[in-house]
Structure 1
Amino acid sequence: MSSNDRQMNGQHRPTSILDQLEPPPASKDKRRLARLRAAWKESWEEGGFLYQRWDEIARARHASWHEIANWIKTAGLLAGISLIVMMVDAAGDIARVALKGLSAAPETGTGDGSGLWGTVDHPIRVFLADQAAHLAVAPAALYAFWQLTGLLGLVGGFFGNAGARIAWVLFGIGSLAMIWSAAPAGGRAAATGLAALMWALASIFALRGLTLRPIVHNHPPQYQFNPALHLHATIPAPTPAGDDYDEPGNVHPLQR
Structure 2
Amino acid sequence: MQPDDKPINGQPNPSFLDILNQTPPPPDTENPGTDRLARLHAGWDAYWEQGGFLHGRWEDLRQAPELGWHSMATWVKAALGLAGICAVIILLDTATDVLGDSIRSLLTAVPHVQVGADTSTGVFAVVDQPIRSYIAAHSAALPISASTVYTVWQAVGLFGLVGGFFRSSGARLNWTAFGASSIAMVYSAAPADGRTIATGLAVLAWTAASAFALRGLTLRPTVFTHIHNAAPQIEPHIHLPAPAAPPAEETPDNVHSLQR
What TM-score comes out, normalization by structure 2 length?
0.51
Q: Name the structure 2 match of 1:165.
A: 172
Whichever residue aligns with residue 238 of structure 2, its letter is H
C-alpha contact 1:113 1:121 (8 A) present in aligned 2:
no
Task: Assess, with a 3 A threshold, how the Cα gap between structure 1 residues 99 and 149 changes in structure 2: closer, same or farther.
Answer: farther
Change (3 A) 1:141 1:188: same
Which of the numbers 90, 103, 106 marks the counterpart of 1:101?
A: 106
Q: Is 1:225 aligned to 2:214, yes or no?
A: no
Alignment CA distance shift 1:166-1:117 (3 Å): same
Structure-2 separation of matches of 1:101 and 1:204? 28
Distance verdict in 2 for CA 1:168–1:98, change over 3 Å: farther
3-state secondary structure, aligned to 2:167: coil
Measured on the aligned residues, the alpha-carbon RMSD in Å equals 3.0
- Correspondent of 2:202 among 195, 200, 218: 195
Q: Give SS of 2:197's match.
A: helix
Q: Which moved more, 1:212-221 or 1:186-195?
A: 212-221
Q: Is the 8 A contact 1:98 1:144 kept in 2?
A: no
The reply to whether residue 145 of structure 1 matches residue 152 of structure 2 is yes
Deviation string 1:182-234 (CA, Å, 9 cap, x unpaired) is 0000000000000100000000000011122333444657x863112130231
SS class of match (2:235): coil
Question: Which residue pairs with 1:134 in the alignment?
Answer: 141
Equivalent in the alignment of 2:48 = none
How many angstroms apart in 1 are the aligned matches of 2:193 and 2:170? Answer: 36
Q: What's 1:57 paired with? A: none
Asked if residue 205 in structure 1 is aligned to residue 240 in structure 2, the reply is no
Residue 99 of structure 1: CA displacement? 4.5
Partner deviation per Cα, 1:14-61 (whole Å, 9 max, x = no partner) = xxxxxxxxxxxxxxxxxxxxxxxxxxxxxxxxxxxxxxxxxxxxxxxx
TM-score normalised by L of structure 1: 0.52
Q: Give 1:1-256 correspondences, 5 Å limit.
A: 97-104=102-109, 107-110=112-115, 111-218=118-225, 220=227, 225-237=231-243, 239-240=245-246
Cα pair distance change 1:201/1:96, threshold 3 Å: farther
**Distance across 1 between alignment mates of 2:214 and 2:101:** 26
Instruction: Say whether the 8 Å CA contact 2:114–2:136 is kept in structure 1.
Output: no
List alignment gaps of at least 5 residues for structure 2: 1-96, 250-260
Distance 2:98 2:208 in 1: 26
Q: Is the 8 A contact 2:164 2:171 kept in 1?
A: yes
C-alpha change, 1:211 and 1:186, in structure 2 (3 Å) is: same
CA distance in 1, matches of 2:215, 2:104: 28
* Alignment partners' CA distance in 2, 1:107 and 1:116: 20
> Contact 1:156–1:164 at 8 Å: present in 2 too?
yes
Q: Which residue of 1 aligns with 2:80?
A: none
Matched letter for residue 191 of structure 1: A
CA contact (8 A) 2:162 2:213 kept: yes
Larger-gyration structure (1/2): 2
Distance 1:93 1:199 in 2: 32
Q: Give the total of aligned pairs.
A: 152
Show structure 1 runs of 5+ residues with no match.
1-91, 244-256
CA gap 1:206/1:216 in 2 versus in 1, 3 angstroms:
same
**Residue type matched to 1:100 in 2?**
S
Q: Provide Cα deviations, 1:54-82, integer angstroms capped at 9, x if missing partner.
A: xxxxxxxxxxxxxxxxxxxxxxxxxxxxx
Shift of 1:133: 1.6
Q: Which whole-Å CA distance do the structure 1 matches of 2:200 and 2:183 have between them?
A: 9
State the distance in 2 between where 1:149 and 1:219 align.
Answer: 41
